[in-house]
Amino acid sequence: MKPFLNERLIQHLKDARRIFMCTHISPDGDAIGSMLAAKLLLEGMGKAVTACCADPVPAAYAILPGANEVLTPGAVSGEFDAAMSLDAADLARIGASVNIFQAAPVRLQIDHHGTNPAYADENEIDADAPAAGCIVMRLIRALGQSVTSEIAVCLYTAISTDTGNFSFQNTDPEAFEIMSELMKTGFDLPFWARHLHLMKSPEHLRMLSCALSRLTFLHEGRLTVMSVLPQDYAQAGARPEHSENIVNYGMYIPGVRFCCFANSTGESVTKFSLRAMPPYSAQRVAVRLGGGGHEAAAGVTLKLPAEQAIAAALDAINEEMEKSS
């Protein structure tokens, strides 16, 4: 396992008694899992930890240990000795939790996004880590603490989510080293694997059906584009979390090297999820549009209705595909 490098960050955690913790908006399994693992770890060391997310915990993660204690920013009160964000690539990603984070006397962060500008006072950022959860495991090791089965569930959620259940390019030997440690706690892998990676809600399947019905092939079949519209959400009785991971279906087709999922959640809000395989970079396209992420997976939100937003995204994708071909 790789070492946790920032010793000042570790010292701040040791010194703090009351810790505020937050993660990114539209939280995924790594956001919630890494935050809850860190919460359980520090509570095990006798600290008072307040975990916060600007958006509600998605239903799939609501049964994780400690998930019922995650507050929205409006419900947070009291003073803190330190604040720590996890898995949040920049301050904007923290959403409404940012004021509490910024007001803390010491700001810390753990993240794995290459575009992270190191916005905290002490940063532990490893763009090579497949998940923020991997860095939390390094922290556990650095603090000399042991992994409980509850922490194992949270870290398994974090790492298996961000590695596509140990199948994406970012999956590395350390991910399996960590899994080996987690397995030793006896956590119920078959239950959690089924819960996290196989079970789907009816709302998700309805949104997937809408997205697939609009699947379009461009660039001789190397690019796919899918979209969902505000009226789809209304008809399906769905929320934005029900569209999570739909983007990946655009890649499940031979010959596709880039896919774009336009997720229009409101009349003038369109969120893009981008996926790419070499020689293309999802990150370059996202950055060109004002967003960020990784080479293989990136995203951006455009404050435009779907049609205009898709036209703008296609300009940036076309540029990428023509330059990199």
Residues that bind Mn ion (CB under 5 A): 30, 87, 132, 162
Give the separation between CA 218 and CA 47, rounded to whole angstroms: 54
**Beta-carbon neighbour count of residue 4 at 10 Å?**
20
Q: What are phi and psi of 226, to 5 degrees?
A: -130, 155
Q: Min. distance of Cβ 289 from Mn ion in angstroms?
A: 20
Residue 11 to residue 15: CA distance in whole angstroms: 6
Closest distance between Mn ion and the C-beta of residue 66, in Å?
A: 18
9-13 long-range CB contacts below 8 Å, 24 or more apart?
9/108, 9/122, 9/123, 9/124, 10/139, 10/142, 10/143, 12/82, 12/106, 12/108, 12/122, 13/42, 13/82, 13/84, 13/108, 13/139, 13/143
CB of 27 to Mn ion, least distance (A): 10
Give me the least distance between CB of 132 and Mn ion, in Å please. Answer: 5
Find the largest Cα–Cα distance for the chain. Answer: 58
Return the number of the residue (113 or 242) whose C-beta is nearest Mn ion. 113
| In the complex, minimum distance from the CB of residue 207 to Mn ion, in angstroms, rounded to a whole number | 22
> Can you say how many angstroms the Cα of residue 58 is from the centroid of all Cα atoms in its chain?
12
**DSSP code for 268:** T
Nearer to Mn ion by Cβ, of 16 and 36: the residue is 36
Q: Which helix (H) or strand (E) holds 262?
A: strand 258-266
- Residues 6 or more apart from 286 whose CB is under 8 A from it? 272, 274, 292, 293, 298, 299, 300
Nearest residue to Mn ion, by Cβ distance, number only:
30
CB of 205 to Mn ion, least distance (A): 25
| Residue in this structure with the two tokens 């779907």, named with its chain if needed | 306
Least separation, in Å, of the C-beta of 133 and Mn ion?
A: 8
In angstroms, rounded to a whole number, what is the distance separating the alpha carbons of residues 177 and 210?
39
Q: Which is nearer to Mn ion, 26 or 270 (CB)?
A: 26
Q: Which C-beta is closer to Mn ion: that of 132 or that of 289?
A: 132
Closer residue to Mn ion (CB): 87 or 122: 87
Which residue lies nearer to Mn ion by CB, 54 or 132? 132
Length of the chain counted residue by residue: 325
Give the nearer residue to Mn ion in terms of CB position, either 110 or 276.
110
Shorter beta-carbon distance to Mn ion: residue 27 or 238: 27
DSSP code at position 253: S
The least distance separating Mn ion from the CB of residue 264, rounded to whole angstroms, comes to 24
Three-class SS state of 47? coil
Nearer to Mn ion, 30 or 124 (CB): 30
Question: Considering the complex, what minimum distance in angstroms separates the CB of residue 87 from Mn ion?
Answer: 4
Report the amino acid identity of residue 28. Answer: D
